[in-house]
Chain A
Amino acid sequence: MTKTPTITFEGPVCPVPLRHNKSIVMGHGSGGKMTEDLIRQVFQKNFSNSFLDAGNDFASVQMPGPGGHLSISTDAHIVSPIFFPGGDIGKLAICGTVNDMSMSGAIPLYLTASFILEEGLDIDILEQVVISMQESANEAGVLVIAGDTKVVEKGKGDGIFISTTGIGWISDDKVIGGEKAQPGDAVIISGTIGDHGIAVLTARGEFSLESSVRSDVAPLNHMIAEILKVAPDTHVLRDPTRGGLATTLNEIARQSKVGIIIHEESIPITNAVQSTCELLGFDPLYVANEGKLIVIAPDVRKNEILEIIRNTKYGNHAAIIGEVVERNSEKVILKTQIGTSRILDVMAGEMLPRIC
């Protein structure tokens, strides 16, 4: 005969709930008290401004001037690891959207941010990311005025995903876009290429490689404002992010129905990025950047623009790298350092390290 266990009803039967102020649990996405606490203790504390502090699900804002257009851009950010040399997912989330908006010549004004958090995420880490976002927002001169948080079960996310949407204002006289490149224009890059992609790749530690490469992630709106002051007739502004310089130039060539010639030896690249790429079999022309700007403008403007860029915080390695031509329509041609030419195509898919 089985003995019935004796149950003792001593002490509180219902355990005191844990406070969960150290790591993210599903409750943080419930919309209830825990969500409210998280918003107050992490987001509002750091992003604080009158729009956000009003506590609404919306923010209503005024435009800075009469007329003009709204520039709206949205971007989702996933990166592993969350922190990497030179930046983190928060800085990336602000700069990515600020830069996308700025490429129209817009003045970026407001951002919203949605967070998808994985159960178990350390709240200290979340706060570090939020602080980093606010630092970048300060630098760019934008406010995060609305946001949302959802929590997914452990294993269904990668720590933290951030989606940001930005609103900016463009005056009516700005006509900048990927379709505006003209034969005869000069092509300028604001600095060394490939730093972000290589910094993140080596930070992942998958290739047992250590390097001194730091991500270039940075807000480019101030640089762009300076350029447009001296060269309001600039035709194209574009940040060569995923797919790198080669893919971005191909997009422009296609949009503008022109050819683009670039000169290999004039493309700025650090030794560290160059050698890491050669070791792994990557082509730095296809490696991502997060703080670089391609400017395409009338040839007569190129020296002024170059000087302006070089005098900005993130532009000291800027260089004139090529020109827009009518021939080779919609193709990008690389003049190699030994005097031959080849086509630069778009990246086929994920960049893969080669075998030997």
Chain B
Amino acid sequence: MNKNFNFSTSFRNSSLVKSVIDEIQKTITKKWTLMEICGGQTHAIMQYGLDQILPKELELVHGPGCPVCVTPLGQIDRAHAIAILPNVIFCTFGDMLRVPGSSVDLFTLRARGAQIKIVYSPLDAVKIAQENPDKQVVFFAIGFETTVPANATSVLQAKALGLKNFSVLVSQVSVPPAMNAILNSPLNRVQAFLAAGHVCAVMGYWEYHPIAQKYHVPIVVTGFEPLDLLQGILKAIQQLEKSEFFVENAYTRAVSEAGNQVAQRIINQIFEPCDRNWRGIGIIPMSGLGLRKEYEEFNAENRFQVGHIMTQESEICIAGEILQGLKKPVQCPAFRKICSPTNPLGAPMVSSEGTCSAYYRYAINVEED
């Protein structure tokens, strides 16, 4: 690659964007419904206004791929129950601070004196545990396969250091079972998937072949820049128009079939598949990644005995339907009325990757212009 190549601008080149859009226009002959799995992709689509320049025949529905959004309310309440304990330093990714539990959020608890720290890497939480031997340090290990390797590494490191004051509150999920669940739903409208490029950078895309074959859906591994997204959309439409369905890689600069095998080994060493509740969706079998028995000592749910906390979700919030791509935020009675980023009812309004927050931030009345 040219050494002057600029990674932060070249994939946003407007004339290249236009040429791919033209190609999509030429290819598409009928209505198709695509789902982008990842919330990062949803945000990029809204941020660059790609929905405004794509052909009207194409409908993009937004998938459940925001780890903050799908973390179940019960788990958030458990996090809160741990975070308020006097001897605990609770470490979390920044996004989680604003997610409402059934009564408060972590911001409120921090203002009430809870020790809550934003970390950018789970390893920072391990460091905090080393520096504070008289405190219990808990890391809120949420995420898809993208973040799971780093979460796993934190447990490995804590074990190697013999830390007795470090534990993880786990709420991890994996993508393929969610795709299966969506395709299995009698209400499903999704005809092709844009698979999340960064998840595939870790996991590869070998897991997706059986899904493409079983449900006859094209699955295109797609990146996050405007050109990446359009390239993924183009490839998906090309397959749909030809009645083809296979797994295709439109993000070759980051993703290989096998993925990052070192990362996969670390994930498998620490975690194993388990049933997992998705906020707004319900339990998807074997869709979670929970701690293996050998690492149970690091399980914060046991250490602080919060496993019994169960919570019902808000009745008015339609997060579940949003996360399954059945409804758009504008179809929610609460959207923009009683639900906003400053007063979110459900997680999709909270996270920077949440669908509702993307609609709130980027998509209001632009057509007036």
In the complex, what residues of B have CB within 8 A of residue A343's CB?
361-366
Nearest A residue to B53 by beta-carbon distance? A340
Shortest CB-to-CB span from B12 to chain A, Å, is 6
How far, in whole Å, are A116 and B12 apart by their CA atoms in the complex?
48
Pick from A278, A338, A341, A356: contact of B143, CB below 8 A: A356
B94 x A354 contact (CB < 8 A): yes
> What is the bound-complex CA distance between A274 and B120, given in angstroms?
18
A336 in contact (CB, < 8 A): yes
Say if the beta carbon of A328 comes within 8 Å of chain B. yes
Instruction: Answer whether residue B146 sits at the interface, using C-beta atoms and an 8 A cutoff.
Output: yes
Contact with A along B335-369 (1 / 0, CB 8 A): 00000111000000001110000001111111011
Segment of B43-51, B181-189, B246-254, B305-313 in the binding face: B43-51
In the complex, B121 has a CB within 8 A of chain A: yes
**Contact in complex: A341, B342 (CB < 8 Å):** no
Would you call B120 and A341 a contact (CB within 8 A)? no
Q: Which residues of the other chain, B, contact A271 by a CB distance below 8 angstroms?
A: 8
- With both chains docked as a complex, state the minimum distance between the C-beta of B244 and any C-beta of chain A, in angstroms: 29
Size of A's binding interface in residues, CB under 8 A:
32
A331 interface residue (CB < 8 Å to B): yes
A207, B17: Cα distance in complex, Å: 33
Residues in B24-74 with C-beta less than 8 Å from chain A: 40, 46-50, 52-53, 67-68
Report A302-347 residues with CB < 8 Å from chain B CB.
327-328, 331, 333, 336-343, 345
**Interface status of B95 (Cβ within 8 A of chain A):** yes
Contact in complex: B352, A281 (CB < 8 Å): yes
B98 contacts the other chain (CB 8 A): yes
Given contacts A355-B93, A355-B147, A356-B40, contact A349 B342 (CB under 8 A): yes
> Taking the nearest CB of chain B, how far is it from the CB of A173, in angstroms?
36
B198 within 8 A of A: yes
Is B46 a contact partner of A342 (Cβ separation < 8 A)? yes
Interface members, chain A 190-230 (any B CB < 8 Å) = 206-208
The yes or no answer to B14 lying at the interface (CB within 8 A) is yes
* B226 interface residue (CB < 8 Å to A): yes
In whole angstroms, how far apart are the Cα atoms of A354 and B93 in the complex? 7
Of the candidates B12, B18, B142, which one forms a contact with A355 in the assembled complex, judged by CB atoms under 8 Å apart?
Answer: B142
In the bound complex, residues from chain B placing their C-beta under 8 Å from that of A13 are none
Across the interface, A274 reaches (CB within 8 A) one of B8, B53, B368, namely B8
Least distance between A115 CB and chain B CB atoms (Å): 26
B296: Cβ under 8 A from any A Cβ: no
Is B124 located at the chain interface by the 8 A CB criterion? yes
Q: Which residues of A contact B50 (CB under 8 A)?
A: 338, 340
By beta carbon, the residue of chain B nearest A348 is: B341
Cα–Cα, bound, A320→B40 (Å): 31
Task: Indicate which residue in A327, A336, A340, A349 contacts B368 across the interface (CB closer than 8 Å).
Answer: A327
Residues of the B chain whose Cβ atoms lie less than 8 Å from the Cβ of A341: 49, 52, 366, 369
What does the 1/0 interface line of B84-102 toward A look like (CB < 8 Å)?
Answer: 0000000001111110000
Given the interface contacts A343-B361, A352-B352, A356-B147, does A333 sit within 8 Å of B93 by beta carbon? no
Chain B interface residue count, CB cutoff 8 Å, equals 49
Given A206-B120, A340-B50: A345 in contact with B369 (beta carbons within 8 A): no
Complex interface: chain A residues within 8 A of B362 (CB): 342-343
Q: With an 8 A cutoff between CB atoms, is B281 at the interface?
A: no
In the assembled complex, A275 has its CB within 8 A of some CB on chain B: yes
Q: Is the CB of A328 within 8 A of B368?
A: yes
Whether A54 is near chain B, meaning CB under 8 Å from some CB there, is no
Assuming the contacts A348-B341, A352-B352, A353-B118, asked whether A208 and B52 have C-beta atoms less than 8 A apart, the reply is: no
In the assembled complex, the Cα of A341 lies from the Cα of B52 at a distance in Å of 8
Cα A348 to Cα B68 with chains together (Å): 17
Least CB distance from A351 to B in Å reads 8
- Which of A333, A339, A353, A356 contacts B144 (CB under 8 A)? A356
Q: Does residue A280 face the partner (Cβ distance < 8 Å to B)? A: yes
**Complexed CA–CA distance, A121 and B357 (Å):** 43
CB within 8 A of A352: which of B52, B95, B121, B340? B95
Provided the pairs A206-B118, A355-B67 are in contact, do residues A340 and B352 lie with their beta carbons within 8 angstroms?
no
Q: Which of B219-275 contact A (CB under 8 A)?
A: 226
Cβ of A331 and Cβ of B365 under 8 Å apart? yes
CB pair B120 A338 closer than 8 Å: no
What 0/1 pattern do residues 251 to 287 of A give for CB contact below 8 A with B?
Answer: 0000000010100000000010011001011000000
- The CA-CA distance from A281 to B146 in the complex, in Å, is 15
Q: 9 tightest CB-CB pairs across the interface, nearest first?
A: A340-B49, A352-B94, A348-B341, A355-B93, A353-B94, A342-B362, A338-B17, A354-B352, A356-B146
Binding site for A on B (CB under 8 A): 8, 12, 14, 17-18, 40, 46-50, 52-53, 67-68, 93-98, 107, 118-121, 124, 142-144, 146-147, 198, 226, 340-342, 351-353, 360-366, 368-369
- Given A337-B14, A338-B53, A341-B369, list of 7 further CB < 8 A pairs? A206-B118, A206-B119, A274-B8, A338-B226, A339-B14, A343-B361, A343-B365
Sample (5) of A-B pairs whose CB atoms are under 8 Å apart? A340-B53, A342-B47, A343-B361, A348-B341, A353-B120
